[in-house]
Amino acid sequence: MDKRKIGQFEVSAIGLGCMNLSHAYGAPPPRDQAERVLKGALDAGYTLMDTAAVYGMGHNETLVGEVLGDRRRDYVLASKAGLSNGDKREVNGYPAVLKATCEDSLRRLKTDVIDLYYLHRYDKRVPIEDSVGALAELVQEGKVRAIGLSEVSAQTLRRAHAVHPITALQTEYSPWTRNPEIAVLDACRELGIAFVAFSPVARGFLAGRVTDPDALDEGDLRRAMPRFQGEAFQANLKLLEGFKALAKEAGCTPAQLCLAWLLQKDEIIVPIPGTTNPDHMIENARAAEVRLSAATMAAVEALVNPQTVAGSRYSPAQHAAIDTEG
Condensed to tens digits (0 to 9), the pLDDT of residues 186-230 reads 999 999 999 999 999 999 999 998 999 999 998 899 999 999 999
Mean pLDDT of 147-169: 97
Q: Compute the chain's Rg from CA coordinates.
A: 18
Q: Where are the domains of the chain?
A: 3-319
Is pLDDT above 80 for 263?
Answer: yes
Q: Which fold has domain 3-319?
A: TIM Barrel (3.20.20)
Condensed to tens digits (0 to 9), the pLDDT of residues 82-128 reads 999 888 899 999 999 999 999 999 999 999 999 999 999 999 999 99
For residue 326, the model assigns a pLDDT of 39
Active site residue 55: yes
> How many helices (H) and strands (E) would you count in the chain?
11, 12
Residue 165 in contact with residue 136, Cβ under 8 Å? no
Q: Which residues, other chains included, contact 304 with Cβ-Cβ below 8 Å and sequence gap of 6+? A: 175, 176, 206, 239, 243
What's the whole-number average pLDDT of the chain?
A: 95
Condensed to tens digits (0 to 9), the pLDDT of residues 127-147 reads 999 999 999 999 999 999 999
Structure pTM? 0.95
Cα gap 237→81, rounded to integer Å:
35
N- to C-terminal Cα distance for the chain? 33
* Confidence band of 324 (pLDDT split at 50, 70, 90): low
Q: Give the number of residues written for the chain.
A: 326
Residue 14 in contact with residue 271, Cβ under 8 Å? yes
